[in-house]
């Protein structure tokens, strides 16, 4: 038995009395390499699943009670609710994510006849923009499918249900990228996903003599109630105006030239800038994946740098701290590309760094970051992992 499995079962026994019949599950977080804020604009994304994520030890109950406990929030104790009372409540805190997925499963007609005892343990730093919420949603779908024998539920369904519950139960109008990356992850591969059709292909991440480093600014981003929903609304406003002059379904249908020729119909400056990012970022993502397939890691890195500037200037979705991390990285020889990753407004940067420059990268970025912000950055060398599984 793996160490982590044993640790979770032992902890389950402490919290819930005994551990007979417990199963342990995992679902990964994700890092997005390029293609930011394109997923709700009908564009492309290029994320990969991580080997960090969220674990659950789970057992069915005989009654309809739902008991949730998180090893990350021990002070909250066991949070109790019931399958007969699934309304969102103000004090749900993190349990709103598993509750939302259970609610979405039953809403789709899947039979969840009994309650559950659930112990959670997450290895993704909270608020880092590496999709701790999506991993918890996909994890919940994974254990519901297994515990209740819902074998007709596919991994793409897990992603869709996760997104649906986050939109409709948690009030965060996210796209499908995070849940899709978690549910469909494949070791050593990124996922090139067309969010308009959900067609996708796996792209092996072979970076020759370089690696992927995630740097956490430790400035927490909280997307619920943040500017995220505003950005989405600004894109929708721009799209509605563009639709009067071009025959498109989404901003992802536009190329750069058609956007430039028609952008004057967008009346507000902020909406025009957001739409510009969505259009150019989608095209950049397509070009970046092609560059990677051609073995041109340097070109991929340059597109990442452009993506950062676009996200920071046109989309106004970075923050001063992550800009400092990225600009410090750009100065270092051996850094092929660096950009903010995820929803933004805090969180992490992702960088492609030559193996020979990793130590210099860590020390120089850390020093400049601390000097300018007084904050400490954390660094993780990324390993790309698989989707959800039962341990
Ligand atoms: C968050 C959302 C995703 C996506 C990214 C930005 O992570 O959950 O759907 O929109 O932001 O690319």
Q: What is the pLDDT of residue 19?
A: 93
Query: Does the C-beta of 332 come closer than 6 Å to ligand 1?
Result: no
For ligand 1, atom 2, the nearest C-alpha belongs to 174
Enumerate residues 6+ apart whose C-beta is below 8 A from 225: 171
Tell me: the pLDDT tens digits for 246-264? Answer: 999 999 999 999 999 999 9
Cα dihedral 315, 297, 325, 72, rounded to 10, equals 90
Is the pLDDT score of 91 beyond 90?
A: no
| pLDDT reported for residue 127 | 80
Could you tell me the distance, in angstroms and rounded to a whole number, from the CA of residue 345 to the centre of ligand 1? 11
pLDDT bucket at 223, cuts 50 / 70 / 90: low
347 lines ligand 1 (CB under 6 A): no
Task: Tell me the C-alpha distance between 11 and 17, whole Å.
Answer: 10
Mean pLDDT, range 312-319, rounded to an integer: 96
Give the pLDDT band of residue 148 (cuts 50, 70, 90). Answer: very high
Catalytic choice (39, 92, 117, 178): 178
Ligand 1 atom with minimal separation from the 228 CA: 11
Ligand 1 center to 122 CA (angstroms) = 20
Name the closest-CA residue to atom 11, ligand 1: 343
Sign of the dihedral defined by the CA atoms of residues 318, 233, 199, 134, in that order? positive
Structure tokens at 179: 């849940």
DSSP 252: G
Strands 210-216 and 348-354: antiparallel
Dihedral angle, C-alpha 353, 358, 363, 365, nearest 10 °: 10
Residue 39 Cβ < 6 Å to ligand 1: yes
Q: Partners of 193 in the beta sheet?
A: 45, 200
User: Token digits for 349?
Assistant: 């940067």
Q: Is the CB–ligand 1 distance for residue 213 below 6 Å?
A: no
The pLDDT of residue 324 is above 60: yes
Reply yes or no on whether the pLDDT at 221 is more than 80.
no
Confidence of residue 226 (pLDDT cuts 50, 70, 90): confident
pTM for this model (two decimals)? 0.96
* Residue 225 reports pLDDT greater than 70: no
Ligand 1 and 343: CB distance under 6 A: yes
Task: Say if residues 9 and 203 touch (Cβ distance below 8 Å).
Answer: no
Q: How many whole angstroms from 167 Cα to the centroid of ligand 1?
A: 12
What strands lie across the sheet with 389-390, from one edge to the other? 79-82, 65-70, 116-122, 47-60, 23-32, 389-390
Write out pLDDT tens, residues 190-215.
999 999 999 999 999 988 899 999 99
Q: How far apart are CA 340 and CA 250, in angstroms?
A: 24
The residue behind tokens 């009030």 is: 171
Q: Confidence band (pLDDT; 50, 70, 90) for 351?
A: very high
Atom of ligand 1 nearest to the CA of 38: 12
What's the pLDDT score for residue 27?
98
Total Cβ atoms within 10 A of residue 122:
22
Fold of 3-35+45-204: Ribosomal Protein S5; domain 2 (3.30.230)
Q: Which residue has the least CA distance to atom 5 on ligand 1?
A: 343
Long-range contacts of 157-162 (CB under 8 A, 24+ apart): 158/183, 158/388, 159/183, 159/184, 161/101, 161/104, 161/105, 161/108, 161/137, 162/101, 162/134, 162/137, 162/138
Sheet holding 199-204, edge to edge: 44-45, 189-194, 199-204
Q: Where are the domains of the chain?
A: 3-35+45-204
Token representation of residue 301: 């890195």
Per-residue pLDDT band at 139 (split at 50, 70, 90): very high
- 284 CB near ligand 1 (under 6 Å): no
Q: Ligand 1 mean position to 311 CA, how many Å?
A: 12
Looking at residue 369, its pLDDT comes to: 98
State residue 119's pLDDT score. Answer: 98
Q: Whose CA is nearest to atom 8 of ligand 1?
A: 174
Whether the predicted pLDDT of 224 surpasses 70: no
Report CA(175)–ligand 1 centroid distance (Å).
6
CB 227 within 8 A of CB 319: no
Q: Is there a contact between 341 and 329 (Cβ–Cβ < 8 Å)? A: no
Tokens standing for residue 321 = 């701290």
pLDDT of residue 275: 98
Active site residue 178: yes
Output the pLDDT for position 43.
Answer: 98
Q: Once rounded to an integer, what is the mean pLDDT over residues 213-234?
A: 85
185 C-alpha vs ligand 1 centroid, how far in Å? 16
Nearest to 213 by CA among 321, 320, 348, 312: 348
Structure tokens that stand for 144 in this block? 């519901």
pLDDT tier, 2 (very low <50, low <70, confident <90, very high otherwise): confident
For residue 260, the model assigns a pLDDT of 98
Q: In whole numbers, what is the pLDDT of the chain averaged over residues?
A: 96
């Amino acid at each position: 038995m793996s160490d982590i499995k044993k640790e979770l079962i032992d902890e389950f026994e402490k919290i819930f009395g005994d551990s007979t019949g417990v199963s342990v599950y995992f679902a990964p977080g994700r890092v997005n390499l390029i293609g930011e804020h394109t997923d709700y604009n009908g564009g492309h994304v290029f994320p990969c699943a991580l080997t960090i994520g969220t674990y659950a030890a789970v057992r069915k109950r005989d009654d309809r009670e739902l008991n949730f406990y998180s090893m990350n929030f021990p002070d909250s104790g066991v949070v109790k609710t019931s399958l007969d009372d699934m309304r969102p409540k103000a004090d749900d805190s993190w349990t709103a994510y598993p509750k939302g997925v259970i609610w979405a499963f039953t809403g789709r007609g899947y039979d969840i006849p009994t309650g559950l005892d659930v112990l959670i343990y997450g290895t993704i730093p909270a608020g880092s923009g590496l999709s701790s919420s999506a991993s918890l949603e996909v994890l919940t779908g994974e254990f519901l499918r297994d515990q209740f024998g819902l074998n007709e539920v596919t991994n793409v369904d897990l992603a869709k249900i996760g997104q649906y519950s986050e939109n409709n139960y948690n009030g965060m109008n996210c796209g499908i990228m995070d849940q899709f990356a978690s549910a469909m992850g494949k070791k050593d591969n990124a996922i090139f996903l067309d969010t308009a059709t959900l067609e996708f292909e796996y792209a092996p991440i072979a970076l020759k003599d370089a690696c992927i480093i995630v740097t956490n600014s430790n400035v927490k981003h909280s997307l619920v109630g943040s500017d995220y929903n505003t950005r989405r609304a600004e894109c929708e406003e721009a799209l509605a105006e563009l639709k009067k002059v071009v025959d498109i379904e989404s901003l992802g249908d536009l190329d750069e030239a058609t956007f430039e020729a028609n952008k004057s119909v967008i009346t507000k400056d902020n909406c025009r800038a957001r739409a510009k990012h969505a259009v150019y970022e989608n095209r950049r993502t397509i070009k970046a994946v092609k560059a990677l397939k051609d073995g041109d890691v340097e070109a991929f890195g340059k597109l990442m740098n452009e993506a950062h500037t676009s996200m920071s200037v046109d989309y106004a979705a970075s923050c001063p701290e992550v800009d400092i991390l990225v600009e410090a990285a750009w100065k270092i020889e051996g850094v092929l590309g660096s950009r903010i990753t995820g929803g933004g407004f805090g969180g992490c940067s992702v960088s492609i760094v030559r193996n020979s420059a990793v130590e210099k990268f860590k020390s120089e970025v850390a020093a400049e970051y601390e000097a300018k912000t007084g904050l400490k950055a954390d660094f993780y060398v990324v390993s790309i992992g698989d989707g959800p599984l039962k341990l």
